[in-house]
Structure 1
């Protein structure tokens, strides 16, 4: 049930090496419709990532410091590269190869990580895609669009997995009194189970099923084994 990055990632990856020139990187981004490419060593070891934003630093720096039509001389470019107050913008603005333009180290995720982990990393670092790497070696790319694939499932498939995989196989509980209804990924669990702990476990595992957007829990239980309050029938959890 747990969807990993490997399940949704793209394995056909457009990459460049450290000596790839600026123009070739830009052409690769445009030709393949991607916003970033990993920079790799000959052995496919990930060195960094070059994104559209990295390339646009050159134009931004030129506009801010010189005007649109001005090309600074080599001495000025070197001076800005070494300047303490120039920062990352100046360094990338004068860069001509992937090694000079890339952001390093790259933000990577393991193919064994969950899609939830990947989504959190994207949000934390403000990126649209992540390099998938194992021990530093390129395995693929995962994008926001790839992560959305986990939610594009038929309601009938989601309901069947909850009944067969969660309730019957994984939990092996008495579930004849449980009804599962799914509408646009919204799962409603209703009916009853024997113990409150079973209800809590069933709802927690249901949330992990691919395609589940949210859960409406209308389950009741006969025995509240979480508080040892006795065998009185309780209301919805």
Structure 2
């Protein structure tokens, strides 16, 4: 699925010359946390968000005098402009991460997560054509049909599960017994922690073609001290 299938096309925007209080009112009235900033030709020139407004307020407070020794003049000048600015263009974030309409939504999700942002402007031919948010991606995920899973033989299921176990460094027991019958994976063995046990069970459920999982894994700490004593 591509971004242009899930993005919002009717985008609320603002311009560099818009007063800060008007941009803030737009966010409140439309219940959004950010606005793309477009120039006269409809080109994307920046983004202003709640974070920019909050940072502006923080920077208006007087900073300790010694702070100037640890920052270069250019950065201090930018911070001053953001703190004292009265228009969107003076406060906005100009270095904008944008995406194209034909980008897969999986790639958009990676970008949002990697850069810790909530939305991505969508640009085509230099023009803003939409915006895609985390909510749009979640909505697409909720409506997407479940992928078809091909059946697999018991032998293939065991081989795939063993291969997955061997690739993970956190698996403490390299001798876990894996069996399969009628598409149901069965796991036997000792593991170090409850977290490891749960992760291995999740791994088994994710094996393509597995119809179910029977876990007989045991956490070592839960074994009575007299277990196996002569």
TM more than 0.5? yes
Tell me how far apart the structure 2 counterparts of residues 93 and 43 of structure 1 sit (CA, whole Å): 28
Change (3 A) 1:96 1:56: same
Measured against aligned partners, the alpha-carbon deviations of 1:24-67 in whole angstroms (never above 9, x if no partner) come to 0110111111111011012211111111111122210123449x
CA RMSD of aligned residues (A): 2.9
- Please state how far the C-alpha of 1:105 moved relative to its aligned partner: 3.0
Structure 2 residue aligned with 1:15: 13
TM-score with structure 1 length normalisation? 0.58
- Please state how far the C-alpha of 1:131 moved relative to its aligned partner: 0.5
Structure 1 residue aligned with 2:208: 217
Retained in 2: the 8 A contact 1:37–1:49?
A: yes
Say if 2:81 is the partner of 1:91.
Answer: yes
Retained in 1: the 8 A contact 2:3–2:102?
A: yes
TM-score with structure 2 length normalisation? 0.60
Structure 1 residue aligned with 2:106: 116
Structure 1 residue aligned with 2:130: 140
Q: Pick from 134, 158, 162 the counterpart of residue 146 of structure 2.
A: 158
Structure 2 residue aligned with 1:38: 36
Measured against aligned partners, the alpha-carbon deviations of 1:57-78 in whole angstroms (never above 9, x if no partner) come to 2210123449xxxxxxxxxxxx
- Secondary structure of the residue aligned to 2:208 is strand
Q: Pick from 179, 185, 190 the counterpart of residue 151 of structure 2.
A: 190
Measured against aligned partners, the alpha-carbon deviations of 1:147-200 in whole angstroms (never above 9, x if no partner) come to 11232137xx426xx3xxxxxxxxxxxxxxxxx4xxxxxxxx4345xx9xxx9x
Structure 2 runs not aligned, ≥5 long: 65-71, 161-204, 211-230
Tell me how far apart the structure 2 counterparts of residues 99 and 117 of structure 1 sit (CA, whole Å): 29
Kindly report which structure 2 residues correspond to 1:32-111, keeping only aligned pairs within 5 A, or say none: 32-65=30-63, 83-84=73-74, 86=76, 88-111=78-101
Change (3 A) 1:112 1:61: same
Retained in 2: the 8 A contact 1:36–1:50?
A: yes
Tell me how far apart the structure 2 counterparts of residues 85 and 44 of structure 1 sit (CA, whole Å): 29
Structure 2 residue aligned with 1:77: none
Tell me how far apart the structure 1 counterparts of residues 207 and 40 of structure 2 sit (CA, whole Å): 51
Query: What is the total number of aligned residue pairs between the two structures?
Result: 156
Structure 1 runs not aligned, ≥5 long: 67-81, 163-179, 181-188, 200-213, 220-237
Tell me how far apart the structure 1 counterparts of residues 38 and 75 of structure 2 sit (CA, whole Å): 29
Say if 2:21 is the partner of 1:5.
Answer: no
